Amino acid sequence: MPKMNTLLSRANSLFAFTLSVMAAVTLGCILTTAFKDRSAPVRLHVSRILLKKVEDFTGPRTKSDLGFITFHIYADLEKTFDWNVKQLFLYLSAEYTTKSNAVNQVVLWDKILLRGENPKLDLKDVKSKYFFFDDGHGLKGNRNVTLTLSWQVVPIAGILPLVTGSGRVSVPFPDSYEVAKAF
């Protein structure tokens, strides 16, 4: 049956050609946005800090410093979105140094911003989403806890860069613990 052979070889060439074209177009898409600057202006403001000492119920069951922070976030991420961005994963992290650890980073809050959603953030009185436990007692009297807003750019295809916003705020933590209230 001669027809079956040519049909098979035609289907084979068509399939191979489709794959090559798709690969080339994907590579082109990736290259157009690979070197783009993804930073954006950010303004952060902390309105309230509270310090407690509690047994860390999220993991190691030792008494550790627990911080409660309320903050405002203002960011304009419109320029970060382009046609090769599927979503932005935003996270607010606190970074500080303690006697026992040179680098401490704790993510306090995060948000997923999909393409199409409002890229201008103006959030007030945001409470931390995750428990701010320290690995020990390094928050008490800590003069320099820096909050930054960063985001991970998730493309439709390509590189996954991590960008930190330009605005950051450093706050001191109180020198003493609050009496533990039921919450």
Partner 1 sequence: MVRAGAVGTHLPTSSLDIFGDLRKMNKRQLYYQVLNFAMIVSSALMIWKGLIVLTGSESPIVVVLSGSMEPAFHRGDLLFLTNFREDPIRAGEIVVFKVEGRDIPIVHRVIKVHEKDNGDIKFLTKGDNNEIDDRGLYKEGQNWLEKKDVVGRARGFLPYVGMVTIIMNDYPKFKYALLAVMGAYVLLKRES
Q: Could you tell me the two tokens for 155?
A: 């493309």
Stretch of residues binding partner 1 (CB under 8 A), selected from 40-48, 75-83, 96-104, 169-177 = 96-104
| Position among 10, 63, 86, 143 found at the interface with partner 1 (CB under 8 A) | 86
| Position among 9, 20, 105, 166 found at the interface with partner 1 (CB under 8 A) | 105
157 contributes a contact to partner 1 by CB under 8 A: yes
- Residue 153 C-alpha from the chain's centroid: 9
Question: CB of 105: closest distance to partner 1 in angstroms?
Answer: 4
Residue given tokens 């806890």 in the structure block: 145
Closest CA to 164 of 80, 97, 63, 99: 80
DSSP conformational letter for 116 = T
89 contributes a contact to partner 1 by CB under 8 A: yes
Number of residues counted as binding partner 1 (CB under 8 A): 37
Integer CA distances (angstroms), 144 to 93, 103, 138, in order? 14, 12, 11
Question: CB of 156: closest distance to partner 1 in angstroms?
Answer: 7
What are the two backbone dihedrals, phi and then psi, of residue 177, each rounded to the nearest 5 degrees? Answer: -90, 150
11 contributes a contact to partner 1 by CB under 8 A: no
Instruction: Quote the CA–CA distance of 72 and 127 in Å, as a whole number.
Output: 9
- Residue 52 C-alpha from the chain's centroid: 26
170 contributes a contact to partner 1 by CB under 8 A: no
| Position among 102, 118, 176, 183 found at the interface with partner 1 (CB under 8 A) | 102
Residues engaged in binding partner 1 (CB under 8 A): 1-2, 4-5, 26, 58-60, 86-87, 89, 91, 93, 95, 100-107, 110, 112, 114, 130, 135, 150, 152, 154-160, 162
